């Protein structure tokens, strides 16, 4: 099944159930957030070169990519929840794009903090900055500093969380178990008790009767954000960058592993050209073919883009892959019912692929399939090696696992 046909199958799905990952796209105005969103999801949204183009959040589905076990096993899969493109499994991920943030957004400036609230359930953030440095902090043409833009976004997120906790501090200060009390306050933010306890420890604060000062709350909020809502930076518009030192400064402050140089506009153009049959482009590829039906001007533009991607691609597919498998540290597991045919009871080979947090067990995988199967699980079988596994077996990447359960 080709990538174009896969897209047509899944294009009607603008959002996936709650057990799928959610990645929030965030940044100052006019840095390319909506273009990046469209490039990742091929959902066409309003894109313009002025601030606050996005008013209501845009939601869609992007796909992280991993080699499908069909390649290793010498078989052909029949995917159900995650399509396969010529041996590459495409793992769906929810993506949300919100309005551009400005300084003091948490206190109502610009579009206010409603759009921060829209990001509450995100598992991770992509902070988009103009790596060319040609837009200022308000999104207008002019001299920009992407390092300052990242700092501003992180500060707004921190202060937003600080305000939420601060409003509940009178009640929190009376709670003997501060972790549980904070978990109740932050219930909509997809934050676990373990993450809260970790952030309290790293902040060197007490977890009982937490009568914290304003500075203490801000310190805790900052730690919790980095633990529960990790971020990666898309240094966007790098194809237009004249001053490479801008992205270099980002790497110096935040680390090269956290920066991905992207050209969202080029990725979007290539995906649209592929959909229109003018090119045969696979997202993330460093080469593609150009159709004979392309006009002279179209061919000229596509040749330029082919020259650009040959030096490392547009960075967009790399970005979502890095979020899912690097930043969030997921592995892919494939549950099956027949360990010999690698299939479900209908005969579909490798029908489902689940993103699982590294460190997850076979029992955790059973829970993803169905709570009753997990409750009655006896053991698992490694379908590749035909070996029996305990319930606490730690999943490895591309494991094909049969869950043996007393539940029907």
In the structure encoding, which two tokens stand for residue 260, read together? Answer: 């991905």
pLDDT of residue 7: 39
Q: Which residue would you say has higher pLDDT here, 257 or 52? A: 257
Distance (Å, whole) CA 97 – CA 122: 11
In the structure encoding, which two tokens stand for residue 276, read together? Answer: 């229109």
What residues contact 173, with CB distance under 8 A and at least 6 apart? Answer: 209, 210, 211, 212
First to last CA, the chain: 33
pLDDT tens, position by position, 323-352: 999 999 999 999 999 999 999 999 999 999
Query: Closest by alpha carbon to 338, among 349, 353, 327?
Result: 349
User: Residue 15 in 3-state DSSP?
Assistant: coil
Distance (Å, whole) CA 137 – CA 26: 14
Task: Lowest mean pLDDT of 33-37, 47-51, 145-149, name the range.
Answer: 47-51
pLDDT of residue 43: 65
- Please check the confidence at residue 8 and state whether its pLDDT lies above 60: no
Distance (Å, whole) CA 382 – CA 244: 48
Q: What is the mean pLDDT of residues 7-30?
A: 66
Q: What is the mean pLDDT of residues 213-237?
A: 95
Distance (Å, whole) CA 373 – CA 408: 8
Beta bridge pairs of residue 235:
129, 261
User: Within 13 Å, how many C-alpha atoms sit on residue 146's CB side?
Assistant: 32
List where CATH 3.10.20.30 sits in the chain. 330-405
CATH T-level fold of 3-144+230-258 = Rossmann fold (3.40.50)
Distance (Å, whole) CA 372 – CA 324: 28
Percent of the chain with pLDDT over 70: 87
- Please check the confidence at residue 51 and state whether its pLDDT lies above 80: no
**Per the CATH hierarchy, to which homologous superfamily does domain 330-405 belong?**
Beta-grasp domain (3.10.20.30)
Distance (Å, whole) CA 235 – CA 147: 10
Q: What is the mean pLDDT of residues 344-372?
A: 96
pLDDT tens, position by position, 309-328: 999 999 999 999 999 999 99
What residues contact 401, with CB distance under 8 A and at least 6 apart? Answer: 333, 334, 335, 336, 362, 365, 380, 381, 382, 383, 389, 395
Q: What is the mean pLDDT of residues 30-46?
A: 81
pLDDT tier, 56 (very low <50, low <70, confident <90, very high otherwise): low
User: Residue 73 in 3-state DSSP?
Assistant: helix
pLDDT of residue 28: 87
Nearest-10 crossing angle of helices 146-167, 178-185: 110
What residues contact 252, with CB distance under 8 A and at least 6 apart? Answer: none
Q: Whole-prediction pTM value? A: 0.88
CB 236 within 8 A of CB 31: yes
pLDDT of residue 337: 97
pLDDT tens, position by position, 262-319: 999 999 999 999 999 999 998 889 999 999 999 999 999 999 999 999 999 999 999 9
List where CATH 3.40.50.300 sits in the chain. 3-144+230-258
User: Within 13 Å, how many C-alpha atoms sit on residue 254's CB side?
Assistant: 24
- Please check the confidence at residue 18 and state whether its pLDDT lies above 60: no
Distance (Å, whole) CA 2 – CA 216: 53
pLDDT of residue 9: 36
pLDDT tens, position by position, 134-164: 887 777 777 888 999 999 999 999 998 999 9
* CA angle, residues 176, 177, 180, in degrees to nearest 5: 145
Task: Lowest mean pLDDT of 58-67, 92-101, 121-130, name the range.
Answer: 92-101
């Amino acid at each position: 099944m080709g990538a174009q046909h896969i897209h047509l199958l899944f294009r009607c799905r603008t959002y996936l159930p709650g057990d799928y990952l959610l990645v929030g796209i965030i940044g100052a105005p006019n840095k390319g957030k909506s273009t990046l969103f469209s490039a990742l999801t091929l959902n066409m949204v309003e894109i313009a070169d002025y601030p606050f183009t996005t008013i209501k959040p845009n939601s869609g589905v992007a796909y992280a990519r991993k080699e499908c076990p069909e390649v290793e096993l010498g078989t052909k899969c029949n995917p159900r929840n995650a399509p396969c493109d010529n041996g590459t499994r495409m793992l769906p991920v929810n993506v949300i794009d919100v309005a551009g943030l400005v300084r003091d957004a948490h206190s109502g400036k610009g579009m206010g903090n409603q759009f921060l609230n829209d990001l509450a359930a995100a598992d991770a953030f992509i902070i988009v900055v103009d790596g060319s440095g040609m837009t200022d902090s308000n999104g207008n043409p002019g001299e920009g500093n992407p390092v300052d833009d990242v700092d501003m976004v992180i500060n707004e997120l921190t202060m937003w969380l600080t305000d939420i906790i601060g409003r509940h501090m009178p009640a929190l200060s009376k709670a003997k178990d501060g972790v549980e009390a904070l978990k109740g306050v932050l219930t909509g933010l997809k934050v676990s008790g373990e993450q809260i306890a970790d952030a309290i420890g790293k902040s060197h604060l007490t977890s009982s009767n937490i009568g914290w000062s304003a500075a203490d709350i801000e310190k805790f909020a900052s730690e919790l954000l980095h633990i529960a809502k990790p971020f990666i930076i898309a240094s966007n518009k790098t194809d237009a960058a004249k001053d490479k030192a801008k992205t270099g400064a980002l790497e110096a402050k935040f680390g090269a592993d956290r920066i991905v140089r992207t050209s969202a506009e080029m990725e979007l153009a290539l995906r649209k050209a592929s959909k229109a049959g003018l090119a045969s482009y696979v997202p993330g590829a460093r080469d593609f073919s150009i159709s004979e039906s392309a006009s002279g001007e179209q061919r000229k533009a596509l040749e330029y883009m082919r020259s650009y991607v040959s030096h490392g691609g547009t960075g967009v597919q790399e970005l979502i892959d890095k979020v899912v498998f690097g930043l969030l540290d997921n592995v892919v597991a494939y549950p099956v019912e027949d360990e010999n045919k690698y299939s479900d009871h209908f005969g579909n080979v490798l029908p489902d692929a689940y993103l699982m947090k590294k460190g997850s067990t076979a029992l955790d995988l059973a829970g993803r399939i169905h709570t009753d199967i997990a409750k009655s699980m006896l053991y698992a079988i490694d379908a590749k090696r035909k070996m029996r596994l305990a319930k606490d077996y730690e999943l490895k990447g591309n494991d094909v696992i049969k869950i043996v359960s007393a539940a029907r």
